[in-house]
Structure 1
Amino acid sequence: MKKSCLAILVCLGLASCSAADGKGLENGHLRPCPASPNCISSEAPEGDAPPFVVQGEDGWERLRLAIVSLGGSIEGEETGYLHATFRSRIFGFVDDLECRQDGDVVQVRSASRVGWWDMGANRRRVEKLRKALSATPPTEG
């Protein structure tokens, strides 16, 4: 009993550490990831992940559809920028996904709002999106 209570307290403590301090662009780029391992960004100096290759006039719309098909909710969108959220099934933790159009590619950042470590959830999400985008070829006009 004591061990399970301690485990719950540790989990709640980790969950209370906020990792997301806002959304949007900084100087025309996606915000850098925090030092904690709960974020992935194609604009990271270490090269966390390559950007998405989204071709064709309908590329941005295919990105939107892929996000929604994977359970995301589009929260905001401006020309060349998109913000979506994803909720974890069990605890309902929210992760933010941000995309920025950058010429022929889309820069991507996915980060947990709370906690220190996401057990690779954001990396898996970005790779699922990459796979979904590569599986849907651009339509011919």
Structure 2
Amino acid sequence: MKHRSRFLTLLLGLVSATAVAGPSADFIERGQLAPCPSSPNCVSSLATDDGHRIAPLAVPGDASTQMAALLAVVRDMPRTEIQAQTENYLWVVFSSRLMRFRDDVEFLLGPGDGVQVRSASRLGYSDLGVNRARVETIRAKLSQGARVSVRASE
């Protein structure tokens, strides 16, 4: 009975930790993406250290074209849920297949072709490179989409 109680406590802790609201209020309050914590379970194109830094996404076109491309890519990926969208901001939650861990991915569109991106785990210390791999998958899919749209217009 003691083990069952510990298991239920652990399970409730995991469920409540993954149900917490996503990104900090940095974007809402200041119009910018939150910095990564010191833990290695986050990547950001705005980070200055090599452990967290990832290149911005190159998405050609104006903000509406960029947003359409991002939406097409993330909607095609498994276990995604769009949480918030404005004309220059997109917040998507990705859930892992097995344990349903939730990761927050934010996109901030700006002038030019660069889209700032932040991907962070809500739980744990290390993500074993999952957030970096996810952003690189999105980058590859965006690149494939750009090649397809160029061919279609020729």
Shorter-chain TM-score: what band?
0.7 to 0.9
CA contact (8 A) 2:66 2:109 kept: no
**Superposed CA RMSD:** 2.4
Moved over 3 A (4+): none
Counterpart-to-counterpart distance in 1, 2:94 and 2:125 = 17
Give secondary structure in 2 for the equivalent of 1:30.
coil
1:24-52 Cα offsets, whole Å, 9 max, x none, are: 51533210000001000000012511101
Residue in 2 aligned with 1:22? Answer: 24
- 8 Å CA contact 1:54–1:60 kept in 2: the answer is no
- Identity over the aligned pairs, expressed in percent? 37
- Structure 2 runs not aligned, ≥5 long: 1-6
Query: How far 1:129 sits from its partner (Å)?
Result: 0.3
TM-score normalised per structure 1: 0.79
Contact residue 95 and residue 113 of structure 1 kept, 8 A = yes
Q: How does 1:37-116 map to 2 (within 5 A)?
A: 37-46=40-49, 48-57=53-62, 58-71=65-78, 72-104=80-112, 105-116=114-125
Partner of 2:133: 124
Which structure features the higher share of helix residues?
2
Amino acid of the structure 1 residue aligned with 2:67: W
SS at match of 1:90: coil
Asked whether the equivalents of residues 97 and 111 of structure 1 are also in contact (C-alpha less than 8 Å), the reply is yes
Aligned residue for 1:4?
none
Gaps of 5+ in 1: 1-7
- The structure showing larger relative contact order (alpha-carbon pairs under 8 Å, at least 6 residues apart) is 1
Do the aligned partners of residues 128 and 23 (structure 1) sit closer, same or farther apart at CA in structure 2, a change above 3 Å counting?
A: farther
- Give the number of the structure whose alpha-carbon radius of gyration is greater: 2
Helix, strand or coil: the match of 2:125? coil
Deviation readout 1:104-141 (Å, 9 max, x if unpaired): 2110000001111111110000000000000011465x
CA distance in structure 2 between the partners assigned to 1:23 and 1:113 by the alignment: 14
- 2:40–2:127 contact (8 Å) kept in structure 1: yes
8 Å CA contact 2:39, 2:125 repeated in 1: yes
8 Å CA contact 2:23, 2:34 repeated in 1: no
